[in-house]
Structures are given as C-alpha cells and as structure tokens.
Amino acid sequence: MNETKNCEKCGSVYPRNTQYSQKQWDKSRYCSRECSSRKFEKQNPMDGFFSHVSIDPSTHCWNWIGARDATGYGFFGGIRAHRHMWMNGIGDIPNGLWVLHRCDNRSCVNPAHLFLGTLQDNVDDMWMKGRGNPRVGESNHLAKLTEADVLAIRDDPRLQEDIARDYGIVQTTVSAIKTKRTWAHVKSEVFRAGDTMGGVVVTAITSYPKG
C-alpha cells in the first residue's frame, strides 16, 4: 500500500517517494521543491501591525502606540505607519501624492481617516486647520522638555549621554540644545545667586534631575 501525506504548504496529497528511506519520509512535509522553498513563502506585510494600534472610541482614530519618528508619525516596516497602512490596506501611492490625515492626528492609521493629496493639498490643509504657524518649544504638544529644562541642560557640565538619560531623550537632542540648533528661542540670562531681577532674588540651580 502506497503511503501518502498532505503537503503543509498547498494541502495536496502526495505519495511517498520510492527512493526515500523511512527517516526521510518521516521528515517529509512538502509535495515539491516549490512548496518547500522559503522564497515562495511570502510574509503578510501587516503581520504584527495591529499589535501597535489602540483605537480611540471617541474619535475612531487608530492611534499608533509603537515606534514614532521625531515628528510624531508612527513608524513600521521602514516607513511611516500611515503610509504602510495605505500601501498594504488600500493600494499604491502614485508619484507626487502624499498620504494625508482628515483627522489631523499624525499617529492615526485608520484608513477611513486617510486620503491622497499633493504637497500643495498638504500645505492648504495645514493652514485650514490652523497649523500654518508651527508651534515651538513648550507650545508644541510633542515637546518633552520645558524651557527650564533646556536652560538646565545648557548649563549641565556632565556627559551628554548622562544628561539624556535623566531627561528621557537621546544624546543628539542634548547636543542640539547645547549648540542651539534647537530651542534657540530660549534665551539664557546670566545671573549669580543673590542677584535680583525685578526685585526678586535669583536662586541658582544647584542640582540636576535624577533618573
């Protein structure tokens, strides 16, 4: 009686190769080289995607809770998460078009909240939603630091890696603050302990935040 198995890839029934030893047959899982070749096994590009999504029932936004880039957009599979959703849930992104948000929520990946538009559409949408004048410093809702933090970081003599660890930021952010590539609008006023400003005695910063 000929022995048979079901192929684990395509499900078809295949007979035992007469040249197989019992050990080879016991290990056999596929009906052909095509089915056994890993190059034919395509991974679903959305695998693991939804484990980084939290749905807000009030706004219906699918908020990305995984990795984000410096501007607040979700990041997945080497690209921004909302673009990944569009490309793998809706279709291609034609050259010259951007994936924009109807909800004005950068972390949202709900396909119903996304639409395609040109760069000019993106600029027009930004002004229409009142984001024409970018908010800087503490007024930016994505800011992790306060102006007081920035002044303390500038004066902190420790290694930048140690400073970054205490404030929950990265070393390059500390470097940018110290060289005033960022937070340049925050002006440092030089006072000594005991000096007065507007009748108020200035107290020097004597300690740094502890991790």
Statement to judge: residues 114 and 55 lie in one domain? yes
In a domain, 73, yes or no: yes
Q: Is residue 97 part of a domain?
A: yes
Residues 152-176: pLDDT tens digits? 999 999 999 999 999 888 898 899 8
Which 3 state secondary structure label does DSSP give 102? coil
Kindly report, residue by residue over 41-89, the tens digit of the pLDDT.
556 788 789 989 999 999 999 999 988 887 889 988 889 999 999 998 8
Is residue 210 domain-resident?
no
CA–CA separation, 107 vs 61, rounded Å? 8
Asked whether residue 31 is assigned to any structural domain, the reply reads: yes
Helix (H, G, I), strand (E, B) or coil at 6: strand
**55, 119: one domain:** yes
Of 83, 117, 134, which residue sits at a domain end? 134
pTM of the model: 0.44
Count of structural domains within the chain: 3
Domain shared by 55 and 130, yes or no: yes
Same domain, 67 and 124: yes
Please name the residue ranges forming H helices in 38-189: 81-89, 119-128, 147-155, 160-167, 171-178
Enclosing domain of residue 77: 49-134
